[in-house]
Structures are given as structure tokens and as C-alpha cells.
Amino acid sequence: MTEPLAPRPAAKAGRWTKQSAGATFAAAAALAFTRDVAFETFKQVLPDWAYTATTVVGLIAAAGAYCLALLWLRRLP
């Protein structure tokens, strides 16, 4: 029986799977789409913080898209 707090075995470094490639593409697409939409909005609403707010929103959208795509792609055969 293994200990419940024992560390997991490390995954092989540099492993690029179809799932991670697809999820990275989804994150990049979400970042590009969000950047275009958010910058126009923040340029009018928060002109001094437009670039910072766009970057934060884009990173949040990219992280969410990566996680959702990874979950979805792992279910495929």
C-alpha cells in the first residue's frame, strides 16, 4: 500500500502529446480573440490601464481555454 502523502512519480520532461498541443492551440486562439475584443473595450473604459487590463483578461481566458480543451481532448479516443 502506498502512503497517501507520497510524491507522485515525475512525468517525462519534454513530452508533447496531442492533447497538450491541442490545448495550447486553444489557449493561443482564446488569447488572440480576447485581445482583439478586450482592447477595444478597455481603450474606451480604462484608457490608462488598457494594455494591463487586456493582458490580464487575455491570460485568464487562455488559462481557461487550456484547461477546458485539455479536459475535452483527454476524453477523445
pLDDT digit string (tens) for 20-59? 899 999 999 999 999 989 999 999 999 999 999 999 999 9
CA distances from 46 to 34, 40, 52 (A): 16, 10, 10
Q: Is the confidence at residue 11, as pLDDT, over 80?
A: no
Instruction: Please report whether residue 40 resides in a domain.
Output: yes
Give CA–CA dist 57/66, Å, rounded.
14
Segments forming the whole domain that contains residue 33: 18-75
Instruction: Please report whether residue 61 resides in a domain.
Output: yes
Give CA–CA dist 16/20, Å, rounded.
6
- pLDDT band, very low/low/confident/very high, at 7 (cuts 50, 70, 90): low
Contact 27, 65 (CB under 8 A): yes
Instruction: Please report whether residue 10 resides in a domain.
Output: no
Instruction: Please report whether residue 67 resides in a domain.
Output: yes
Contact 74, 19 (CB under 8 A): yes
Domain total in the chain: 1
3-state secondary structure of 50: helix
Instruction: Please report whether residue 39 resides in a domain.
Output: yes
- pLDDT band, very low/low/confident/very high, at 76 (cuts 50, 70, 90): confident
Instruction: Please report whether residue 5 resides in a domain.
Output: no
